[in-house]
Amino acid sequence: MAATPRGDGDRPRSAQRPAAQAERRADARRNIRSILDAAQLCLARDADASVSDIAKAAGVGRVTLYGHFKTRADLVDAVLTRTMEQSDAALEATDTGGDPRQALTRLVGASWQIVHQLHSVLLAAHRELPPERIRAVHDQALHRVQAIVDRGRRSGVFRDDLPERWLVTTVFSLMHAAAEDTAAG
């Protein structure tokens, strides 16, 4: 009968692997969190932040970063997705009920602050990602605008002679254009 390989103590090595794998997975999760935290901060300051700068800020090597994010575009996509999830959570607190005009004003006011703060992340995304991906990441936030526009059209306070999608796109585009102009001084 063949001997079972032994590691620490009397446990077979195969019994140690799940713990070691779980530990690595926890390390990987911590690394990913650190990379995303650092990338979000670095890209918010500078849309052109390098992968090396982000890895250094995360306390990991470039090899580790590239082990989780194959390209800079993948990293930027993950940061944009994460940023939009955080933004959506912040917008959740915005009252979008009542008069559609006032609701849209409140939502644009709350969104404007977020768009302005995260302008550089969006700029990095525009440099790395296709426009349809950027728009898709904004879908949840745009659903709020769409619900208000739909309600306003039904109540007669918003135009109904233009496609709803066009009205939503107009709100989206104006907020982002205003953020770009503000960032440009």
18-70 CATH fold = Arc Repressor Mutant, subunit A (1.10.10)
Q: Is 18-70's fold the same as 71-184's? A: no
Q: What are the extents of the domains in the chain? A: 18-70, 71-184
pLDDT at 3 over 70: no
pTM for the model: 0.74
pLDDT at 109 over 50: yes
Q: 22 pLDDT band (50/70/90 cuts)?
A: low
Predicted confidence at residue 19, as pLDDT, reads 52
Instruction: Report which DSSP code applies to 160.
Output: S
- Least confident stretch, 22-36, 122-136, 146-160: 22-36
Q: Is 6 helix (H, G, I), strand (E, B) or coil?
A: strand
Predicted confidence at residue 11, as pLDDT, reads 46
Separation of alpha carbons 154 and 82, rounded Å: 34
Superfamily of domain 71-184: Tetracycline Repressor, domain 2 (1.10.357.10)
Mean local confidence (pLDDT), 101-105: 93
Tell me whether residue 153 is exposed, middle or buried, using C-beta atoms within 10 angstroms of its C-beta: 0 to 12, 13 to 18, 19 or more. Answer: middle
Of the candidates 56, 33, 146, the residue with the CA atom closest to the CA atom of residue 100: 146
Write out pLDDT tens, residues 74-96: 999 999 999 999 888 888 888 98
CB 156, CB 105: distance < 8 Å: no
Mean local confidence (pLDDT), 155-178: 87
